[in-house]
Amino acid sequence: MTLPDYRTQSPEVAARFARIRERPVIMEVRELTKCFGSNTPLNRISLDVRRREFLCVLGASGCGKSTLIRILAGLETPTSGEILLDGVPVSGPGPDRGMVFQGYTLFPWLTVKKNVMFGLRMSGKTQFDSESEAREWISMVGLSKFENSYPHELSGGMKQRVAIARALANRPRILLMDEPFGALDAQTRAQMQAYLLDIWKNVDVTILFITHDLDEAVYLSDKILVLGTNPSRVAEIIENPVPRPRTREQFVSPEFLATYNRISELIHPRSSTPVERLPISRLTMVGDDVE
């Protein structure tokens, strides 16, 4: 099968990107560089995220994805460069940039409801207001039955749903997600991806999503920022040609595969990785029944 070029967009997709380009920029990153001694995990990274855009940042492990999102969240400081949120430079963590971590970071001593209320209470809302707001967010992620449960009583997927509700309850300008489904099993992960698209459709939120899973990136995103290693830089920002609404059937559509192949090439350039065969020799007698 010959695949189309990943840059070919159907009229609907092209129109959607045209609309996105007209929206205001929520987060602008300019020449962000981070050095640890002689190591430069991030070298002059620039990107913008527009309102209600879903941007996936993809890269091989060790390319500085996590460092990037931690800097964007204000948990680490960049060596140089700046981050503008709605045109205003930000430093340090704040509730305007919500974050969902890869590990489970629900407060174990608080119930689901109290966890979701945490940010609302920090912002000075009354107990009563934050409680009713928290309930709405909990029901949005379908966990109303568990609002009085403690985190240890929940499954991994449920915990991440609470974490999403907790981050969204603060109404952040942008939701930063650091491989949030990385610790989940394949089936739960697929379900969570679908949930996330649903949530994103119903909530006015811009998402910057870090992942190393190519399928996940193509399935979720509007744009995919591929980080290259050695030297670390933005390899390419790809406009995802797969039309919305997304379904899992699209995983085998020509646009999907073309995009997938392109990302794959960027992350593992063919020339630099000759397939290295392990020097396997027969150490045991092998029967003929194994192919």
User: Which residue, 95 or 254, has its beta carbon nearer to other proteins?
Assistant: 95
User: Which residue, 109 or 272, has its beta carbon nearer to other proteins?
Assistant: 109
Binding site for other proteins (CB under 8 A): 73-75, 93-95, 97-99, 101, 103, 105, 107-110, 118-119, 122-123, 145-152, 166-167, 170, 176
Name residues whose C-beta falls within 8 Å of residue 66's C-beta, 6 or more positions apart in sequence.
178, 179, 210
Report in angstroms how near the CB of residue 136 gets to other proteins at its nearest. 17
Report in angstroms how near the CB of residue 152 gets to other proteins at its nearest. 5
Is the C-alpha dihedral spanning 119, 122, 123, 125 positive or negative? positive
User: Which residue, 152 or 282, has its beta carbon nearer to other proteins?
Assistant: 152
Take residue 232 and report the two structure tokens written for it: 């670390």
User: Which residue, 178 or 222, has its beta carbon nearer to other proteins?
Assistant: 178
Report in angstroms how near the CB of residue 249 gets to other proteins at its nearest. 35
Q: Is 275 helix (H, G, I), strand (E, B) or coil?
A: coil
ω before 231 within 30° of 0 (cis)?
Answer: yes
Q: What share of the chain is helix, strand, coil (3-state, %, to 5)?
A: 35, 25, 40
DSSP 127-193: HHHHHHHHHHHHHHTT-GGGTTS-GGGS-HHHHHHHHHHHHHHT--SEEEEESTTTTS-HHHHHHHH
Q: Which of 130, 193, 128 is nearest to 164 (CA)?
A: 193
User: Which residue, 33 or 149, has its beta carbon nearer to other proteins?
Assistant: 149
Report in angstroms how near the CB of residue 165 gets to other proteins at its nearest. 12
Report in angstroms how near the CB of residue 7 gets to other proteins at its nearest. 35
**What backbone phi and psi angles, to 5 degrees, belong to 82?**
-140, 160
Q: Which of 181, 163, 182 is nearest to 172 (CA)?
A: 163
Report in angstroms how near the CB of residue 103 gets to other proteins at its nearest. 6
User: Which residue, 27 or 263, has its beta carbon nearer to other proteins?
Assistant: 27
User: Which residue, 32 or 167, has its beta carbon nearer to other proteins?
Assistant: 167
Report in angstroms how near the CB of residue 171 gets to other proteins at its nearest. 11
